[in-house]
Structure 1
Amino acid sequence: MKKVILTFILMLMMSALSAITLEESIELAKENNKELLAEKSAFRSADWGKKNALTNFFPKASFNSTLVRIDDDTYDEAMQVMNVPVIGMNGFPTGDYIQFSSAYMGPGFYKTTYTNNITVQQPIFNGGKVILGYQLAGLAKKQAYLALQSKEKDVSYAIASTYFGILKLQDLKTLSQKSLESTLSHLQSVQKNYDVGTAKRSDVLQWQVKQKNDETALSEIGNSIDELYSFWQILLGKVEAEEPSKIDVTEYDSETLQYSAMERNELEKAAADFLAEVEKTSPTIQTMELAGKMMKKNYYMAKGEFLPSLNLQFSYQFESDDEFDFDGDDNWNLVAAFSVPIFTSGTNYSNLKKAKYDLKKIKYETESTLENYMVAAKNVFYKLITKARTVEDNKTALEFAQENHKIINELYTQGMVTNTELMDAEAMLFGSEMNLVASYYDYILLKYEIKKYTE
């Protein structure tokens, strides 16, 4: 007997050690969940994109080296010496000749020419594209951060939904097992009565049918738990996920009682406060506002296409000869390139119009989405109140069902009620217990859904 007790205690300890809380589950998912890892990578990419946009303000330097090889025929033709007659003062040839070759007209003519130079380019003004590009990159980084926040909330809610879903099904499984045990007990009692002739065959059959129904329900709950565990593993990013830690749902009794006791004016004030918080902190609303700002920057960039541009380029050449030794005649030049768009066949104008209507489009879409979003947030808040009241109603219903079950059982033992009435009382009792458990978890999960609307 001691060995059995010790084994049971060890099993409980192992179960406690392998259990994981909701907060631990969420942190684990943040480390391993592939969707979150993808959003984190997108945020880092946007961060580097902003840094890259900053480099457009600074000069760019490059080393350029070229090798030019001339074919033999061209080289021989260029090196060919020609005799050019000398013309005297009287306009007639003097009889003398000057040797001339086109290869000697320049600084040097080589069959293979090596050229090395350094070029530095510095943008001065390009219609505001550089600064607008940097601002857009900053907004894109913020957008990526908000997307990461939103994904974290989605994953946290998915974790909570699965976590509480498993716990709810486990509690329902316990109640189903309890219901099955009660059914088997009644079946055994009715079978004995039937054997001695004090019960009808139909009474036995009714309990046998209920037994099969209870077994089917228990099996379906077990399958649902297995399905949720598979999804649970994917969310956590682990091959084998720990057991969700049990919670005491009655800890939320004070909340549900408080919400269910609220008067209409109190509810309206609480809803208004919640919606005000949503407007200030919701990542979704911030993302919508950010999309409008980005579209406005695109509009300004389209307007900048009509402005002139000015860029500087400095080039220093320190070699151009037939030896690759970084030594030779040097020269430099400084170019200030100024450009004004005069006629672009309507390209700039059409782009400006497109950007203008894109800006209007995003404005109307944002207003429409915001209205729908706030309605959804308000509905979720009132749904939380409804769930709280459902919990309190189910508590009362369970008390009535327990009292009814007790009375029917006493009457049944006295032979004053039928077998069907006893079965109805059983179904009402266990149904009320299951409804209460389900309503508790629905309320708890809705609290996590509300968190999606705020920071």
Structure 2
Amino acid sequence: AQQVLVQTISNVKKLPPVNLEIDGQNYPNFNITLFQPIFTGGKILAGKKFATAELNYSDVELQKTKNEIIKETIDRYYAVVLLKAVVKTRKEVVAGMKRHEREAEKAIKIGMIPPYTRLRAEVAVANAQRDLSDDENKLKLAKIALKASMGLHTPEDIEVTDTLKFQACPLNLEQLLNDAVNHQPVFRMLEEKKVMVKQKHNLDLAAFMPQIGAWGTYSAYRDRYPVIPSPFVIGVQAKINLFHGAKKINEMKATQHLAKEVDAAEQYAHEQVNLWVNKSYNEVLNKQERYRKLQPTIALARKNYEITEKRFHEGMAKSTDVIDARLLYEKSQIEAYHTLYDYYVALSDLYLATGNPEKLLNILIHDNNQ
């Protein structure tokens, strides 16, 4: 037994050291490893659906921005048309006031009216010129705003040839509400948001599932090794995280709360869009009715001005009567223009609420072709 022990110890001493370097050489090592997931708990599919929903959300958000730009451009376009009509009316008033000032001067010379009435005519001319200057400046600013909305950066001025004309639009409230449900970008954005939240929940669940995959390794330069290994090594790997520190559980709870928030936001959006459509619809009807009622007022104001001016020429009316009649006629004209502008702005807001602001463009094209 003692001889066997001595022999064993002698053999152990013959073993090479742990850090033995074979032949004193370094061997190149180049491995290629591929890993193919087999089961990830639905993480890959959920990630793909989440990315698709996120892309769709961005597309709908872009459409929402386009709709808002269309409405803004239409509103600014009508603002230019409005101010162009107002400036034209102001110029007619200035010309009329100057003409009356000359006629009043002649009447003073022949003793038909007292001299102090000339002051009233001069004040009327000054006021008319001031109003004209103000509206001309507003028109310049409106054109600059329109150019900005249209993306025009040229220094040249733009000229709008359209005039404000009333174009009746048949509207059905029930149809408008249905259009809003089907085409309003806010609802489609919320639908995509719901998909993203659902897939986020699936991703949270996948964190609790085992991750299984197949792997394979290929070794190059294996012929340089003292011991030649197999060129390929394949296997199956399974991994599961047993402890998350409650982080993943809290993330799941947060996602569940987010889903409830999206549902509440969807209900709120339906209520607000419904209110938006109803408000804009009634505003359109109100402006439409107001414009129609102003037409006989304008006709009466014009008739009153013509009669008063004729009576002044016959010496039966005062100069101030002519000025008041002209200002009344001007006021009714400009009020009608503003009402018509408000009508089209309300209409563009209504179509924006339904998700179809381009419908007002069709009205513009139809109006221009008439």
Q: Secondary structure of the equivalent of 1:433?
A: helix
C-alpha displacement of 1:110: 3.9
Which residue pairs with 1:91 in the alignment? Answer: 6
- Deviations 1:89-139, CA, capped at 9 Å, x for gaps: 4615779x8584555567x7645x532222212122222121111111111
**Is residue 293 of structure 1 aligned with residue 195 of structure 2?**
yes
Cα distance in 2 for residues equivalent to 1:225 and 1:321: 86
Aligned match of 1:309 in 211, 223, 226? 211
The verdict on how the C-alpha distance between 1:94 and 1:373 changes in structure 2, with shifts beyond 3 A counting, is closer
C-alpha displacement of 1:357: 0.9
Contact 2:85/2:163 (<8 A) preserved: no
**Is residue 210 of structure 1 aligned with residue 133 of structure 2?**
no
Cα distance in 2 for residues equivalent to 1:128 and 1:234: 49
Which residue pairs with 1:451 in the alignment? Answer: 351
Equivalent residue runs for 1:133-282 within 5 Å: 133-240=47-154, 243-250=158-165, 252=167, 255=168, 270-282=172-184
Contact 1:302/1:352 (<8 A) preserved: yes
- Deviations 1:329-385, CA, capped at 9 Å, x for gaps: 663332422123322221121111111111111211221122112101111111111
The verdict on how the C-alpha distance between 1:424 and 1:307 changes in structure 2, with shifts beyond 3 A counting, is same
Cα distance in 2 for residues equivalent to 1:122 and 1:178: 82
User: Which deviates more, 166-175 or 189-198?
Assistant: 189-198
Contact 2:82/2:164 (<8 A) preserved: no
Amino acid paired to 1:289: E
Q: Secondary structure of the equivalent of 1:243?
A: coil
Higher-strand-fraction structure: 1
Amino acid paired to 2:337: V
The verdict on how the C-alpha distance between 1:224 and 1:320 changes in structure 2, with shifts beyond 3 A counting, is farther
Amino acid paired to 1:224: K
The verdict on how the C-alpha distance between 1:163 and 1:250 changes in structure 2, with shifts beyond 3 A counting, is closer
Contact 1:318/1:329 (<8 A) preserved: no
The verdict on how the C-alpha distance between 1:407 and 1:124 changes in structure 2, with shifts beyond 3 A counting, is same
Equivalent residue runs for 1:35-114 within 5 Å: 89=4, 91=6, 98=14, 100=16, 102=18, 104=20, 110=25, 114=28
Contact 1:115/1:319 (<8 A) preserved: yes
Amino acid paired to 1:360: K
Aligned match of 2:259 in 359, 362, 371? 359
The percentage of aligned residue pairs carrying the same residue is: 15
Cα distance in 2 for residues equivalent to 1:320 and 1:213: 100
Contact 1:127/1:305 (<8 A) preserved: yes
Amino acid paired to 1:298: K
Unmatched runs of 5 consecutive residues or more in structure 2: 357-370
- Deviations 1:396-416, CA, capped at 9 Å, x for gaps: 211111121122222222333
Aligned match of 1:339 in 236, 239, 244? 239
Contact 2:185/2:355 (<8 A) preserved: yes
Q: Secondary structure of the equivalent of 2:282?
A: helix
Cα distance in 2 for residues equivalent to 1:446 and 1:94: 105
Cα distance in 2 for residues equivalent to 1:234 and 1:250: 25
Q: Secondary structure of the equivalent of 1:239?
A: coil
Cα distance in 1 for residues equivalent to 2:112 and 2:316: 14
Contact 2:85/2:164 (<8 A) preserved: no
**Is residue 373 of structure 1 aligned with residue 273 of structure 2?**
yes
C-alpha displacement of 1:88: 6.9
C-alpha displacement of 1:321: 9.1
**Is residue 283 of structure 1 aligned with residue 198 of structure 2?**
no
The verdict on how the C-alpha distance between 1:194 and 1:332 changes in structure 2, with shifts beyond 3 A counting, is same
Q: CA RMSD in A?
A: 2.9
C-alpha displacement of 1:177: 0.5
**Is residue 435 of structure 1 aligned with residue 350 of structure 2?**
no
C-alpha displacement of 1:209: 1.3
Contact 1:114/1:321 (<8 A) preserved: no
Cα distance in 2 for residues equivalent to 1:109 and 1:423: 116
The verdict on how the C-alpha distance between 1:202 and 1:300 changes in structure 2, with shifts beyond 3 A counting, is farther
Cα distance in 2 for residues equivalent to 1:317 and 1:133: 33
Cα distance in 2 for residues equivalent to 1:203 and 1:405: 18
Cα distance in 2 for residues equivalent to 1:222 and 1:381: 32
The verdict on how the C-alpha distance between 1:286 and 1:277 changes in structure 2, with shifts beyond 3 A counting, is same
Amino acid paired to 1:418: K
C-alpha displacement of 1:440: 2.4
Amino acid paired to 1:167: V
Equivalent residue runs for 1:9-28 within 5 Å: none
User: Which deviates more, 397-406 or 291-300?
Assistant: 291-300
Cα distance in 1 for residues equivalent to 2:314 and 2:251: 90
Amino acid paired to 1:237: G
Contact 2:80/2:160 (<8 A) preserved: no
* Greater relative contact order, per chain length (Cα 8 Å cut-off, separation 6+): 2
Q: Secondary structure of the equivalent of 1:138?
A: helix
Q: Secondary structure of the equivalent of 1:114?
A: coil
TM-score, normalised relative to structure 2: 0.85
Which residue pairs with 1:121 in the alignment? Answer: 35
Cα distance in 2 for residues equivalent to 1:152 and 1:168: 24
Cα distance in 2 for residues equivalent to 1:94 and 1:132: 64
Cα distance in 2 for residues equivalent to 1:105 and 1:357: 62
C-alpha displacement of 1:242: 6.3
Unmatched runs of 5 consecutive residues or more in structure 1: 1-86, 260-266
The verdict on how the C-alpha distance between 1:88 and 1:105 changes in structure 2, with shifts beyond 3 A counting, is farther
Q: Secondary structure of the equivalent of 1:345?
A: coil
